[in-house]
Amino acid sequence: MNLPRRLQLAFSARRPLHRAFTLIELMVVIALIGVILVLAAPSFNDMIGMQRLRAINDQLVTDMQYMRGEAVSRNQYMGFIARSVPAETMSCYTIFSSSTPLVSTSIDPTQCNCTNAIGAACTAPQRELRTAQIPRGFNIDLRFPPNQGGHMVASPINGGIEIRPPNSALFSDLEFCVEVRRSPRGRLRTSVSMGGRTSQCSPDGSVPGVPTCPPYDAALKNCQAAT
């Protein structure tokens, strides 16, 4: 349809004008995005670190349950030895057995070093089953109560545990405790009862959704604070 020229001009005048961003406006937007990223980066890094803390602790619990299951299914004692020396490049632990399966004292943690290459952590007659290594670059390490050390033994009878503290010929009757600690924030403790039952808590309440650990009670024989 042919419209009169005057009407065509009227329609043309009503068309909206599309205005582009100026260079200054684009620079302001980019600057604002940069500020938001700088402000969000610490909380994002903290979120990643807390997820890593949970993952490492979950793997530790899984491996402890694996050790108990292997002790019962293989009908032999199994050993757990953890290591955390600040001067070394990692924290780590190894699950192992002995060539004398039904003698708990044949489990010798001095014959295993979890900082060695995986698959070569133990020397005969100890036999490595599983090793986990946590690089220092993760800012996460393993801690233990000072009177406990990092060694326990799982029994083939019922999957219960035996703890022999460092420099002692006697078994402890306390829970076995391992703390996975992250710097600067985040602590998870896994405790193993004499019957082999595991439980988790946070010593300082820093991990959302995880209960805060109760204080040490000599009557309950629960975990003492890790150093």
Per-domain residue ranges of the chain? 26-74+135-201
| DSSP string for residues in 26-57 | HHHHHHHHHHHHHHHHHHHHHHHHHHHHHHHH
> Rounded to whole angstroms, how far apart are CA atoms 201 and 189?
5
The pLDDT value recorded for residue 5 is: 54
Q: Which residues pair with 202 in a beta bridge?
A: 212
Of 116, 69, 65, 125, the C-alpha closest to 94 is: 116
Name the burial class of residue 176, with classes exposed (0-12), middle (13-18) and buried (19+) by CB atoms within 10 angstroms of its CB: buried
pLDDT value for 166: 67
What dihedral angle (degrees, nearest 10) is formed by the CA atoms of 216, 175, 173, 74? 180
- The Cα–Cα gap between 194 and 156 comes to 13
The pLDDT tens digits for 1-43 are: 555 555 454 545 555 555 666 777 777 778 777 666 666 556 7
CA dist 152 and 164 (Å) reads 7
Smallest CA-to-CA distance from 59 within 130, 151, 155 is with 130
Describe the strand order of the beta sheet including 140-143 as a list of residue ranges.
Answer: 140-143, 176-182, 187-192, 198-201
CA 174 – CA 99 distance, rounded (Å): 28
pTM of the model: 0.80
CA neighbor of 151 nearest in space, from 140, 135, 162, 159 = 162
Cβ(145)–Cβ(223) below 8 Å: yes
| Peptide linkage before 109 cis (omega within 30 of 0) | no
Between the alpha carbon of residue 92 and those of residues 5, 57, 85, 198, the distances in Å are 86, 12, 10, 19
Positions of the chain with pLDDT lower than 70, given as ranges? 1-21, 34-42, 165-172
Beta pairing class for 161-162 and 140-143: unpaired
What pLDDT does residue 147 have?
A: 81
**Rounded-to-10 torsion of CA 121, 124, 129, 133:** -10
